[in-house]
């Protein structure tokens, strides 16, 4: 059984990918970056989600000698030309300040009418092997941006994105409902055949 490492210290992400792999009959052992605390976090210097995911996956594969999976994701707003995009987590200038990021984005879209508030969450998931082999897949969740936050589940921009075909925001969905349609869930599921192809 091959050990597979996921470039995250987020327990929820590890649980999600473990479940997706198990459902597909993939039995490789999945661990997070916490299993290798001596390896520093990788700077995300890419200009696309795919580039950032590959940077992290290659760095981990090289450092551990194991196949590595990494993902990068964010919110892409149509009228902002795809922004915040890769800057989603630091849109307000402070990395990871969800409230400030949300407030700034809502202020920027204040005068935009509902038909023009289209947006999507995007996620790129990469698998890199120690020999340099790489694959990237992507997942998207399209929706419309509400004018104020609704719901307390989720994080980031979840309280303002209302998925297509639903009357609730991502933050009003149960974790299972969100995982079933989420951009990251779609990307991770698209990665399963790649893992099977490259790792058996």
Structure token pair of residue 87: 């800057």
Tens of pLDDT, residues 25-76: 998 999 999 999 999 889 899 999 999 999 999 999 999 999 999 999 999 9
CATH of 3-199 given 3.40.50.2300, 3.90.950.10, 3.65.10.10, 3.40.1190.10: 3.90.950.10
- The residues that are catalytic are 72
Domain locations along the chain: 3-199
Tens of pLDDT, residues 116-172: 999 999 999 999 999 999 999 999 999 999 999 999 998 899 999 999 999 999 999
Q: Give CA–CA dist 116/161, Å, rounded.
A: 13
CA torsion 58→63→65→68, rounded to 10°? -40
């Amino acid at each position: 059984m091959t050990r597979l490492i996921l470039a995250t210290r987020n327990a929820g992400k590890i649980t999600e990918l473990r479940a997706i792999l198990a459902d597909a009959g993939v039995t490789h052992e999945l661990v997070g970056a916490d299993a290798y605390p001596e390896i520093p976090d990788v700077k995300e210097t890419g200009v696309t989600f795919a580039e950032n995911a590959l940077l992290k996956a290659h760095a981990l594969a090289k450092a551990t000698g194991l196949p590595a999976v990494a993902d990068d994701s964010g919110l892409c707003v149509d009228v902002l030309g795809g922004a915040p995009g890769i800057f989603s987590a630091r849109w307000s200038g402070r990395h990871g300040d969800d409230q400030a990021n949300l407030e700034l984005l809502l202020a920027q879209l204040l005068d935009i009418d509902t038909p023009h508030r289209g947006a999507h969450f995007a996620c790129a998931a990469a698998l890199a092997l120690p020999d340099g082999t790489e694959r990237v897949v992507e997942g998207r969740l399209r929706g419309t941006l509400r004018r104020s936050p609704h719901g307390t589940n989720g994080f980031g921009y979840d309280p303002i994105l209302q998925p297509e075909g639903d009357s609730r925001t991502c933050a009003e969905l149960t974790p299972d409902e969100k995982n079933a349609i989420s951009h990251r869930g779609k990307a991770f599921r698209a990665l399963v055949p790649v893992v099977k192809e490259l790792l058996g």
